[in-house]
Amino acid sequence: MKILVGISKAPDTTTKISFTDNNTKFNEDKVQFIVNPYDEWYALVRGLELKEKNGGTVTTITVGGTDHDPIIRKALAIGADDAVRINTEAADGYMVARQIADYAKDNGYDLILLGKETIDYNGSMVGGMTAELLDMPYVSVASKLEIEGRTAILERDVQGGIEVVEADLPLVVSCAKGMAEQRIPNMRGIMAARTKPLNVIEPSDAKGLTRVVEYNLPVEKGEVKIVDAENMDELVSLLHNEAKVI
Amino acid sequence: MPKTWMSWSAYYTTKPKLFKNLKNLKMSILVFVDARGGQIAKAGLEAIVYGKKIADKMSASVTVLTYGSVSNDTLEGLGRYGASKVLINKSITEDQDDALTSLVAEATQTENASVIIFSFDPAGKVLAPRLSARIGAGLVAGVISVPEIDGNSMTVTKNVFSGKAFAKYEISTEKKVLSLLPNSIQVNEGEGTAEVEEFSPSLPDNRIRVKELKPLGGEGIPLPEAELVVSAGRGLKGPENWGIVEELAESLGAATACSRPVSDMDWRPHHEHVGQTGIAIRPNLYIAAGISGAIQHLAGVNGSKTIVVINTDPEAPFFKAADYGVVGDAFEVLPRLKEAVEKFNAAN
Could you report the per-residue pLDDT of B121-134, keeping only the tens digit for each?
Answer: 999 999 999 999 99
pLDDT of residue B219: 56
* Total number of domains constituting chain B: 2
Of B134, B165, B198, the one marking the end of a domain is B198
Query: Does residue A224 belong to any structural domain of this protein?
Result: no
Identify the residue among B315, B324, B331 best suited for mutation to test binding to A, counting A beta carbons within 10 A and taking the highest.
Answer: B324
**Gap from B86 CA to chain A (nearest CA, Å):** 21
Judge whether residue B22 has pLDDT over 70.
no
pLDDT tens per residue, range B25-45:
578 999 999 988 888 989 999
Query: Do B29 and B177 share a domain, yes or no?
Result: yes
Judge whether residue B168 has pLDDT over 80.
yes
Query: Does residue B176 belong to any structural domain of this protein?
Result: yes
Query: Does residue B50 belong to any structural domain of this protein?
Result: yes
pLDDT of residue B21: 45
Judge whether residue B24 has pLDDT over 90.
no
Of B182, B198, B214, the one marking the end of a domain is B198
Query: Do B40 and B118 share a domain, yes or no?
Result: yes
Say which CATH number the domain at B238 has: 3.40.50.1220
Contact criterion met (CB < 8 Å) for A226 and B325: yes
Q: Which residues of A touch B145 (CB under 8 A)?
A: none
Identify which of B27, B38, B117 has the alpha carbon closest to the alpha carbon of residue B75: B38
Q: Which of B120, B132, B326 sits opposite A94 (nearest CB)?
A: B132
- Residue A212's H or E segment, with its range, is strand A210-216
User: Hey, what amino acid is at A97?
Assistant: A
Judge whether residue A154 has pLDDT over 70.
yes
CA distance B124 to A246: 30
Residue in B closest to A169 by C-alpha: B207
Mean pLDDT of the residues in chain B: 90
Binned at pLDDT 50, 70 and 90, residue B4 comes out as very low
Say which CATH number the domain at A24 has: 3.40.50.620
Query: Does residue B28 belong to any structural domain of this protein?
Result: yes
Query: Does residue B216 belong to any structural domain of this protein?
Result: no
Q: Which of B130, B169, B337 sits opposite A212 (nearest CB)?
A: B169
Query: Do B186 and B292 share a domain, yes or no?
Result: no
CA distance B53 to A97: 31
Q: Residues A41-51: what's their mean pLDDT?
A: 97
Identify which of B109, B280, B293 has the alpha carbon closest to the alpha carbon of residue B201: B109
Choose the weakest-confidence range: A145-154, B8-17, B184-193, B275-284.
Answer: B8-17
- Residue B98's H or E segment, with its range, is helix B97-110
pLDDT of residue B216: 72
Q: Are strands A161-168 and A151-158 parallel, antiparallel or unpaired?
A: antiparallel
Contact criterion met (CB < 8 Å) for B285 and A245: yes
Query: Do B257 and B332 share a domain, yes or no?
Result: yes
Binned at pLDDT 50, 70 and 90, residue B10 comes out as very low
Query: Do B140 and B262 share a domain, yes or no?
Result: no
Mean pLDDT of the residues in chain A: 96
Cβ-count burial A191-220 (b if 16+ within 10 Å, e if not): eebeebebeeeebeebebbbbbeebeeeee
**Gap from B234 CA to chain A (nearest CA, Å):** 19
Binned at pLDDT 50, 70 and 90, residue B23 comes out as very low
pLDDT tens per residue, range A172-191:
999 998 899 999 999 999 99
**Gap from A151 CA to chain B (nearest CA, Å):** 11
Binned at pLDDT 50, 70 and 90, residue A149 comes out as very high
Query: Does residue A103 belong to any structural domain of this protein?
Result: yes
Query: Do B140 and B227 share a domain, yes or no?
Result: no
**A131 Cβ under 8 Å from any chain B Cβ:** yes
**A92 Cβ under 8 Å from any chain B Cβ:** yes
Residue that wins the pLDDT comparison between A135 and B25: A135
Query: Do B181 and B244 share a domain, yes or no?
Result: no
Residue in A closest to B300 by C-alpha: A119
Query: Does residue A218 belong to any structural domain of this protein?
Result: no
Query: Do B239 and B317 share a domain, yes or no?
Result: yes
Binned at pLDDT 50, 70 and 90, residue B14 comes out as very low
CA distance A116 to A114: 6
Query: Does residue A201 belong to any structural domain of this protein?
Result: yes
Instruction: Identify the three-state secondary structure at position B320.
Output: helix
Q: Which of B167, B208, B212 sits opposite A212 (nearest CB)?
A: B167
**Gap from B165 CA to chain A (nearest CA, Å):** 5
Estimate the crossing angle of helix B122-135 against helix A126-134, to 10 degrees: 50
* Total number of domains constituting chain A: 1
pLDDT tens per residue, range B64-117:
999 999 999 999 999 999 999 999 999 998 778 999 999 999 999 999 999 999
Choose the weakest-confidence range: A155-164, B2-11, B310-319.
Answer: B2-11
Q: Are strands B148-150 and B138-143 parallel, antiparallel or unpaired?
A: unpaired
Query: Do B99 and B173 share a domain, yes or no?
Result: yes
The domain in which residue A72 lies consists of 2-213
Q: Residues A107-135: what's their mean pLDDT?
A: 96
Query: Does residue B277 belong to any structural domain of this protein?
Result: yes
Contact criterion met (CB < 8 Å) for A156 and B122: yes
Query: Does residue A221 belong to any structural domain of this protein?
Result: no
Query: Do B250 and B193 share a domain, yes or no?
Result: no
Query: Do B258 and B303 share a domain, yes or no?
Result: yes
Read off the pTM: 0.89
Judge whether residue B217 has pLDDT over 80.
no
ipTM of the shown complex: 0.94
B-facing residues of A in 154-183 (CB < 8 A) are 155-168, 177-178
Judge whether residue B15 has pLDDT over 90.
no
The domain in which residue B110 lies consists of 24-198
Q: Residues A185-214: what's their mean pLDDT?
A: 96
Q: Which residues of A touch B337 (CB under 8 A)?
A: 232, 235-236
Query: Do B165 and B238 share a domain, yes or no?
Result: no
Say which CATH number the domain at B95 has: 3.40.50.620
Query: Does residue B12 belong to any structural domain of this protein?
Result: no
